[in-house]
Amino acid sequence: MAHVQLKHVYKRFANGVVAVQDFDLQIEDGEFLVLVGPSGCGKTTTLRMIAGLASISEGELWIGDRLVNDVHPKDRDIAMVFQNYGLYPHLTAYDNMAFGLKLRKTPKAVIEEKVREAAQVLNIEHLLARKPKALSGGQRQRVALGRAIVREPQVFLMDEPLSNLDALLRAQLRTEIAKLHQRMQATVIYVTHDQTEAMTMGTRIVVMKEGVVQQVGTPQDVYNRPQNMFVASFIGAPAMNFLSGRLQVAGDEMFFQSASFQIAIPVQRQTRLREAGALNMPLILGIRPEDLIADQDIRETTDRALLPAAVERVELLGAEKHVHLRALGQSMIARVPARSEIEANSSVTLTLLNDRIHLFDALTEESIF
Ligand code: ATP
């Protein structure tokens, strides 16, 4: 396997669109790197440049210790798995998997062994004689994965391979791809717009927006320390809640103040906030739905650390409920256990866990850690 390095890579299309800007990252040997972001952010274009299916406008691409900007896709030692499977309809599952090896004149016995072994790993041994149209979506995607595996490439590129599948199959194949990665210790670069896939599969995640990398980190890093409001709201479902306000100081204490609501800032964060000049700037406080406690028993409050809210809607998701709220004129969501008795059209009081709050500069939207 091999590492992949993108050095200040740009993609400019003829129509003036800059789809990827200054992408600069080393992807380590054996890593499962996920590129995630909303539609049009440049994920697929980045993957296509690595595959050699799109040219690189500026910058360098290295696979292992080879500069491959001008190397033909078939000579890059990569295998790609697509959203729409990309299988040959007239060939059986077996022949689809064997195709790349046959082209390379691999001996028949070796092909047989590799295809059988991959089929066993993917649990499709009984389907090898079927053509794609006689396979379900999940089975077709397994064949497509099998075709990539038998080639034993240095790098696997996967472009939304699960997005044509239903939720249950997606969850199942997600786990299987992750296991496959562990077993093969392969370098995988995986594109998705689904933040759950990114969080559960990636050893590292790259969050992109409008062609620009916003943050690179482990799923935990990105979730716990989002570098800006875009990352904070894109990673995590339901999304992070935001409230605008300012910091205020009273004696030794520091508060985040928003209309009539205030919340104490933990002492250990105060110095850093002062150093960052946060006392003088408009701020946005971010709080994840699980760090917001909605309490029905406190109906009225004069406590400025408690936030009165109106419950607009409650969604039951099996193990938990999502409570859609309105507080200080803004929409918020709290995540509560399914046993909670909170109902729509009632009033609740919110407590924000103050060691879990995020603060952002309201103008730049960058986090102030
Ligand atoms: P999606 O999740 O919808 O596939 P994406 O993040 O993969 O989106 P890209 O397909 O990489 O995004 O597209 C990035 C930008 O480049 C978009 O604005 C898109 O319209 C533009 N783009 C893509 N291909 C071309 C092309 N061949 N010519 C011009 N512009 C293009």
DSSP-assigned letter for residue 228: B
Compute the average pLDDT of residues 193-203.
93
For the CA of 211, the closest atom of ligand 1 is: 14
Compute the average pLDDT of residues 172-188.
89
What does the pLDDT read at residue 1? Answer: 62
Q: Is the pLDDT of residue 354 over 90?
A: no
Strand runs labelled E in the chain? 4-12, 18-27, 32-36, 58-63, 66-67, 78-81, 155-159, 187-192, 204-209, 212-217, 241-250, 253-258, 261-264, 283-287, 292-295, 306-316, 320-327, 330-337, 347-352, 358-361
Dump pLDDT digits (tens) for 64-76.
999 999 999 989 9
Dump pLDDT digits (tens) for 33-89.
999 999 999 999 999 999 999 999 999 999 999 999 999 998 999 999 988 888 999
Phi then psi for residue 85, to 5 deg, are: 70, -45
Dump pLDDT digits (tens) for 237-290.
999 999 999 999 988 899 999 988 899 999 999 999 999 999 989 999 999 999
Chain position carrying tokens 């605008």: 244
For ligand 1, pick from 9, 15, 41, 209 the residue to mutate: most ligand atoms within 8 Å of CB.
Answer: 41
Residue with the smallest CA separation from ligand 1 atom 26 is: 13
Distance 19 CA to ligand 1 centre (A): 6
For the CA of 208, the closest atom of ligand 1 is: 6
For the CA of 47, the closest atom of ligand 1 is: 11
What does the pLDDT read at residue 231? Answer: 98
Distance 279 CA to ligand 1 centre (A): 40
Chain position carrying tokens 């491959």: 68
Sheet holding 330-337, edge to edge: 292-295, 347-352, 306-316, 320-327, 330-337
Compute the average pLDDT of residues 15-30.
96
Distance 208 CA to ligand 1 centre (A): 12
Q: Is the pLDDT of residue 360 over 70?
A: yes
Distance 326 CA to ligand 1 centre (A): 36
Residues with CB under 6 A from ligand 1: 13, 15, 17, 19, 37, 39-45, 193
What does the pLDDT read at residue 257? Answer: 94
